[in-house]
């Protein structure tokens, strides 16, 4: 299954008040694992970058001046997204900015229903615990020592690793937790149910011949007891 992890950096918190996207980062996942394909760009917001935003991501107005406009990269971004589910931490925030930018160029909005919100997953899995990206990285012992400032592509890569852990880690099929717990964490339990494959008549006959060939009365007694229990 293909998914795309998405993160943005912005000039502020509210797109309705004129704040804009300054960076977009997205990476491709297949079965929850990064494939190495990614989309990344810096954008000219055509406005100032407040000090509060600069402190978060370190992208100045001078650096962003002359970078592509959102309209210049929208088609490439949407092509990379395709029709895959979008994995976003606090989807309401990033989706609000993306849809506002798409609205400015008369583009169609991205539906909330196609987003997997890792913030919601984390809050269901760890109720009452901090659920921001830094806290989740620390919980899962993901190294963020080189993350002095936020970056859309860097954070998308970290989020992909967090998302894998939220989904059960690299071997989710070996996570023997109750079905109800899986349901509460949003993990699809249907793929975890083992399939029981009964032996064929030929396999049963071969097994009986093997047991009869063993000159050990204990083996025979065990086999006879099992046959009686199944009768």
Write down the pTM of the prediction: 0.73
Residues 158 and 216 in one domain: no
- Mean pLDDT, to the nearest integer, of 47-54? 97
Identify the CA nearest to 17 among candidates 51, 47, 57: 47
Task: Respond yes or no: is residue 89 known to be catalytic.
Answer: no
In a domain, 195, yes or no: no
Residues 58 and 95 in one domain: yes
In a domain, 196, yes or no: no
| Tally of domains in the chain | 2
Residues 49 and 139 in one domain: yes
Give the domain range for residue 218.
201-230
55 versus 168: the higher-pLDDT residue is: 55
In a domain, 131, yes or no: yes
In a domain, 98, yes or no: yes
- Rounded distance, CA 135 to CA 142, Å? 10
In a domain, 14, yes or no: yes
The confidence score (pLDDT) of residue 185 equals 39
CB 22 within 8 A of CB 10: yes
Residue 68: pLDDT band with limits 50, 70, 90 = very high
Residue 231 clears pLDDT 80, i.e. is over it = no
Check 89, 150, 207, 208 and give the catalytic one. Answer: 150
Model pLDDT for residues 92-104, shown as the tens digit of each residue: 999 999 999 999 9
In a domain, 158, yes or no: yes
Residue 37: which CATH number? 3.30.420.10
Percentage above 90 pLDDT, the chain: 70
The confidence score (pLDDT) of residue 176 equals 44
């Amino acid at each position: 299954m293909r998914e795309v992890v998405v993160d943005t950096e912005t000039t502020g918190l509210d797109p309705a008040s004129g704040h804009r996207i300054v960076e977009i980062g997205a990476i491709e996942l297949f079965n929850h694992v990064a494939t190495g394909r990614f989309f990344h760009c810096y954008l000219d917001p055509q406005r100032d970058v407040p000090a509060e935003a600069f402190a978060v991501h370190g992208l100045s107005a001078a650096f962003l001046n002359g970078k592509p406009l959102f309209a210049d990269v929208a088609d490439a971004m949407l092509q990379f997204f395709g029709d895959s589910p979008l994995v976003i931490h606090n989807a309401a925030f990033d989706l609000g900015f993306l849809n506002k930018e798409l609205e400015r160029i008369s583009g169609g909005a991205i539906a909330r229903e196609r987003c997997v919100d890792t913030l919601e997953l984390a809050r269901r899995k760890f109720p009452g615990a901090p659920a921001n990206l830094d806290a989740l990285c620390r919980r899962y012992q993901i190294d963020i020592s080189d993350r002095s400032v936020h970056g859309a592509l860097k954070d998308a890569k970290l989020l992909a690793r967090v998302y894998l852990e939220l989904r059960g880690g690299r071997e989710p099929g070996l996570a023997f937790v109750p079905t109800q717990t899986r349901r509460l964490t949003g993990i699809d339990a249907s793929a975890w149910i083992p399939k029981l494959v009964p032996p064929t008549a030929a396999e049963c006959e071969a097994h009986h011949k093997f047991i009869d060939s063993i000159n050990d009365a204990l083996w025979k007694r065990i086999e006879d007891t099992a046959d009686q229990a199944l009768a």
